[in-house]
Amino acid sequence: MKLYSALFILSLIWGMSFLFIKLLLDVFDPWQIVFIRCVLGIITIIPLFLISKQKVNWKELPLKSLIIVGLLNAGLPWGLIAWSETFLDSGYTAILNATTPIWTAMMGVLFFSVKMQWKQWIGVMVGFIGIIFLMDADAPGLTQEQLLLGIVLMLSATCCYGYSSQYAKKHLQETTVWITASTTLLTGSVLSGIVMSFTGGWHLPDNALEGNVILSLIGLGMFGSGLAYLLYYYMISAGSAEFATLVTYLVPVSAVVWGSVLLNEKIPPIAYFGLFLIFFGVYLTGRKKRKATIKIKQNRTA
């Protein structure tokens, strides 16, 4: 029951994160949002890490691998997501975010010698067909070029997620989730700070201290970046990685509901069909992993 409660809460938090980004774009630049998000996430995680009193061998930390994962799992993709939301609605970006498992499988094949079964290849193709339906959707207020740019930015972010997850699986198996999460957010804050210096720098608008802005910052930084990490890794440790990735199915639904209720966003019917195809593609792409897990469990009980 605790695992399913964590899954449901995480889907609500990450679904609303897309909404928070959309609201904050009226006040801050995309890379400012990333910087604030990372800093607030660090502020949330570090005290909890200190309270846990875990021992860390600082000399043996794989700093290079941690930095690479930080760049590709937070700094760069979060900036791309915020940038994409300058064009796309929050629900639309969340739908595209659901392609992450498909890109994870593709990155495994291309760069990490992972082999896929024919059903998984079918899943990848079905997922891409779903993306094509999204590209053909009618987006009010956007030109076809803006729609395409928003989609490309969002898919670039999910490619980063896919590569970083495979890279972390290979190089950070012995690193605790506390260290991985903390260094990920720290690297993201450094990257976004550097990019900010080339894109207008830091500025504080007059409406930056309004109530809805403060709540959005807290929701995105402390909950969407800090506590969400802890919930996600709790589901991996107490359940399994396969169970934790179920959140991929729930986040787009959550984001579409939040966007519709709070921002009056309207998702065209063809986009829902694209979402269905992406979900089905994700399901087929993950088939091998689930079967392998079942086989391992059977061997352990034998």
Chunked mean pLDDT (size 10), the chain, 302 residues: 83 88 91 93 87 78 92 93 92 86 86 85 87 73 85 94 86 81 91 89 76 89 85 70 68 82 80 85 68 41 36
What are 73's two structure tokens?
A: 């799992």
Alpha helices per DSSP H over the chain: 2-24, 30-52, 63-70, 76-84, 90-97, 100-111, 118-135, 144-171, 177-198, 211-218, 228-238, 241-244, 247-263, 269-285, 287-301
For residue 65, the model assigns a pLDDT of 93
Q: What is the pTM of this model?
A: 0.84
> How many domains are contained in the chain?
1
For residue 180, the model assigns a pLDDT of 83
Residue with the two structure tokens 């009618």: 138
In 3D, which of 33, 19, 35 has the Cα closest to residue 92? 19
Residues ≥6 apart with Cβ < 8 Å to 233: 177, 181
Domain range for residue 65? 2-51+60-301
What are 208's two structure tokens?
A: 């930056």
Count of CB atoms within 10 A of residue 177's CB?
A: 17
Would you say the C-alpha torsion 151, 157, 163, 165 has a positive or negative sign?
A: negative
For residue 292, the model assigns a pLDDT of 43
**Residue 128, CA distances (Å) to 76, 113, 153, 185, 206 in order:** 23, 22, 15, 30, 43
What are 32's two structure tokens?
A: 């400012």
Residues ≥6 apart with Cβ < 8 Å to 59: none
